[in-house]
Amino acid sequence: MTTANVLACIDGSRSSPAVCDYAAWASMRLSAPLVFLHVLDHSQFPTQSDLSGNIGLGSREHLLQELAELDEKRGKLMREQGRLMLEAAAERAVTDGVVEPVTRQRHGDLVETLADLQGEIRLLVMGRQGEEGDSLGQHVGSHLESVIRTLHKPILVTAGEFRQPRSVMLAFDNGPSTRKGIEMITESPLFQGLPIHLLMVGADTNDAWEALNAAKARLESAGHEVIASIRAGDVEKTLLGYEEEHDIDMIVMGAYGHSRIRQFFVGSTTTSILSSTTRPLLLLR
């Protein structure tokens, strides 16, 4: 039987320390093995093995040889850099309290690699920024949306520095993903003992309260303190406003679907809320 791991993607960006810390927190809460992954994407340092077709280079064998050696050396340096990053991540996790974190280095495309490893993943942890996005402030990493669309596992997207989660907000719309989220929270030790804010964005109707109160009762039966609210307004602004107003430490929401809350993940609002939130976002599929 395949072990279900907390898998954390390390890429050398400024988000990597927070990825380490949130992954360590999740690993210990879930009592699940922690695996750090670094993927060497060859598109970022392509090896040009045949340059003889370039104008003026065909007759200069020594230059072709030097270029080939330079590519090989660069590849070795990238592998060594990745190895050192993984070592540092594992050391940080041990300091956080994790026992025997595992490190892996793979070659290829990040999204394809994660798809291949999907059967081993219980929770994926990634930073909002990729290595190339560091200079862009709140830029969302180029691979992140592709990973969210491809994987059918919970994905914890970190933002900012690690802060021990003390409260959680579930963006509730009574759709399949958020109902699954209710069950996940009740059955998983990840949020055990933490107060849960249930927020529904939409019309304040009896039907809405019926669904919300049913979810509240389910969470309370698992021992959670639950604060349930319905607010009208723009989904993104309402969620982020509530997050700030109540100093929420983590948002949980469904990643896809046709309801108002999940719909915005197909299009620009995905990037907008990922860019705007100052707290980690746990996305459910």
Task: Tell me whether residue 163 is in a domain.
Answer: no
Mean pLDDT of 19-29: 97
Mean pLDDT of 173-187: 86
Task: Tell me whether residue 57 is in a domain.
Answer: no
**In terms of domains, do 117 and 14 share one?**
yes
Mean pLDDT of 103-115: 93
What pLDDT is recorded for position 136? 38
What pLDDT is recorded for position 134? 46
Task: Tell me whether residue 50 is in a domain.
Answer: no
Q: Which of these three, 124, 158, 192, is where a domain ends?
A: 158
Residue 210 pLDDT > 90 = yes
**In terms of domains, do 212 and 145 share one?**
no
What pLDDT is recorded for position 45? 52
- Residue 184: pLDDT band (50, 70, 90) is confident
**In terms of domains, do 128 and 266 share one?**
no
**In terms of domains, do 180 and 142 share one?**
no
Can you give the residue range of the structural domain that contains 211? 168-284
- CATH assignment at residue 90: 3.40.50.620
What pLDDT is recorded for position 104? 95
Mean pLDDT of 157-163: 91
Mean pLDDT of 87-96: 95
- Residue 26: pLDDT band (50, 70, 90) is very high
Paired strand residues for 199? 171, 229
If DSSP codes are grouped into helix, strand and coil, which group holds residue 115?
helix
As a whole number, the mean pLDDT across the chain is 84
Q: What is the DSSP secondary structure assignment for residue 270, as one 8-state letter?
A: H
CB atoms inside a 10 Å sphere around CB 54: 13
Task: Tell me whether residue 256 is in a domain.
Answer: yes
One-letter amino acid of 238:
T
What pLDDT is recorded for position 133? 46
Phi, psi of 121 (to 5 degrees): -95, 130
How many domains are there within the chain? 2
Mean pLDDT of 176-196: 90
**In terms of domains, do 92 and 149 share one?**
yes
What pLDDT is recorded for position 142? 66
- For the four alpha carbons of 111, 116, 117 and 121, in that order, the dihedral sign comes to positive
Residue 23 pLDDT > 80 = yes
Q: Which of these three, 158, 179, 205, is where a domain ends?
A: 158
Q: Which of these three, 112, 133, 158, is where a domain ends?
A: 158
**In terms of domains, do 272 and 150 share one?**
no
**In terms of domains, do 219 and 250 share one?**
yes
Please tell me whether the overall predicted TM-score, pTM, comes out greater than 0.75 for this model. Answer: yes
Q: In Å, what is the CA distance from 278 to each residue of 130, 155, 158, 161, 229?
A: 16, 16, 9, 9, 21
Residue 263 pLDDT > 70 = no
Lowest mean pLDDT among 74-83, 114-123, 229-238: 74-83
**In terms of domains, do 136 and 208 share one?**
no
What pLDDT is recorded for position 50? 53
**In terms of domains, do 153 and 174 share one?**
no
Find tokens 């862009």 and name the residue: 136
